[in-house]
Chains A and B, each alone.
Chain A
Amino acid sequence: MTIAVASRQWPGEGLARVPYWVYSDQDLYAQEQERVFRGNTWNFLCLEAELPGPNTYCRSTLGEMPIVVARDEAGAVHAFENRCAHRGSLLCLKERGAAKEIVCVYHNWTYDLAGNLTGIAFRRGLGGKGGMPKDAKPEAHGPRKLRVETLAGLVFATFSAETPALADYLGPEIVARIRRVMRAPVKLLGGYSQVLPNNWKLYMENVRDSYHASLLHAFFTTFRLHRLSQKGGVIISETGGNHTTYSMAADVAGKEYEQAGMRSAQDDFHLEAPELLASVDEYGDGVGIQILGVFPGFVLQQIRNSLAVRRVVPQGLEKTELVWTCFGFTTDDDALTELRLRQANLIGPAGYVSMEDGAATGFVQRSARAAGDELSVVEMGGHGTSSEDNRVTEAAVRGFWKDYRRHMGL
């Protein structure tokens, strides 16, 4: 379904209403690539640990734009479009590797790890024949370079010269919450991806929706990993787009869910092998779960000792790849690594908790197609986008839309 641009207006109720056409309008999707992903936003590309030494590279994305991220001889991190200056072939075909230069397979044009064109096969022709004119300037069509900043082992990039510095973009509270999780040099544990049958924004709303976690995810609630009655809160940046929700690990004996007969609370359900949930308070602050989102497409997760970065890759109006990379730290002993690997049962496409997010967001997408100008209701906790010391709120979801509308001019 496509609505003419002129008729596209945000509902008068403001951030507490979201029109369904935001998930089903092809023109809007194309505009997002330009205004959001290639606009004044910082996009997570990879962990620094994925570039383990000088002369290494990996592939990433900026929205739909394919990107090469590389660490040069001197250790500096660069990011540039994965597109040859010549005919636009992908330059880098391997997911990751080590090399001093990147060579396009199509016609052997060569680039350094900063994305500079350094060599053209037969530029001067052969035997005085063929080749490029002397005044040709193919370098002018080279892959576009991104601004790169790293923070606590995370590599971010922006396409725009106008995006504020990363720390200003994130806001001080979000920076502090990132630094909290990234407490030591990263050790990669592995990854996978989950292809979600929905628009990318539905996933980023889901991440910010502190209200759903204990209601949709029965596993969470049953084992008191996460209940809204547990102490916790939501922190939202000035811009609205960046957020953290957190809850304390300490159990509360409350029976609010059971008394209300909620599906997610089942007293008779227990684990035969509770070692699955064995965990240690590695941060020493009692926070059991911290989920952090950065606009537009980044999530940093701490669920007990399960740590992961999640990168959202829009692959069309109704298709989103969610790339998960799980990690620990180089300081971990074998016992802590084993805890992280066991707790990984909670997350990812097969996770006791995370599997349902793929289902629920897909359910919204299927109804949104036909819902057009109808509005969804985002009114838990009122209409604001301020930080709160409870999680029975959709303030961070409204924050997402506040930032989205600013970037999109909607």
Chain B
Amino acid sequence: MDVAVYLQVQDLNTRYVHAIDEDRLEQWPDFFAEDGRYRITTVENVERGLPLSLVYATSRAMMRDRVNSLRNANVYESQRYRHAVGTPLIETGDGGLVRAVTNFLVARIMHTGETTLFATGRYEDRIALTADARPRFLEKTVILDSRQIDTLLAIPL
């Protein structure tokens, strides 16, 4: 186990969830490569071999569109997330490519104070670690343990 790789992945995960939890959504696309992929699906779809996603973006531009829409178009009550992420399970590949699987829990805190366990699951990430650029996600698949979403899912997980 290369400890430096391990720490880089943990640091990327940590910065990623803090950006979301602190409502710095405009920074969210920058955690991805320009043509990075982000999708949210359920473990039921994955196990059935079905390709449907709840959110499916294939570029940073598509992620910026989502943030723009959340900020300016969509109607949802004010809410925040608090992520807790586990220790990543890492496989290193060639050319700085890393695969990481990381468990997460997300609490949702409504403006009323109501706090619920909103989502649990795992991130399946492909990450580019190169010496000359900051680490980015080439692909992040959010696999939810449950098929049920309470009310709506606006903010990315």
A residues adjacent to B (C-beta < 8 A): 95, 188-197, 216, 218-219, 222, 264, 266, 269, 271-273, 275-276, 321, 326, 337, 341-342, 344-345, 348-350, 352, 355-356, 358-360, 362
Contact = CB atoms under 8 A, between A and B. Distances in A.
Query: Which 9 residue pairs of A and B lie closest in terms of their CB atoms, listed nearest first?
Result: A190-B52, A190-B50, A349-B149, A218-B73, A272-B61, A355-B152, A350-B153, A273-B61, A190-B45
11 contacts: A190-B51, A218-B72, A273-B59, A273-B65, A321-B148, A344-B53, A349-B151, A352-B73, A355-B74, A355-B154, A360-B75
Contacts of A349: 54, 149, 151-153
Interface string B60-72: 0110111011001
A348 B73 contact: no
A344 B74 contact: no
Do most interface residues of chain A lie in helix, strand or loop, or is the interface mixed?
mixed
A218 B48 contact: no
Contacts of A266: 72-73
Interface of B: 40-42, 44-45, 48, 50-59, 61-62, 64-66, 68-69, 72-77, 147-154
A71 to B, nearest CB: 17
Most buried by A among B44, B75, B76, B150: B75
A269 B152 contact: no
Contacts of A360: 75
A341 B62 CA distance: 14
B61 A359 contact: no
A273 B62 contact: yes
A188 B77 CA distance: 32
A188 B50 contact: yes
Contacts of B58: 342
Given A355-B74, A360-B75, A192 B147 contact: yes
A192 B149 contact: yes
Given A337-B51, A349-B153, 5 more contacts: A190-B53, A192-B147, A192-B149, A341-B52, A350-B54
Contacts of B74: 218-219, 352, 355-356
A348 B76 CA distance: 14
A356 B62 CA distance: 20
Contact of B151 (A190, A192, A275, A358): A358
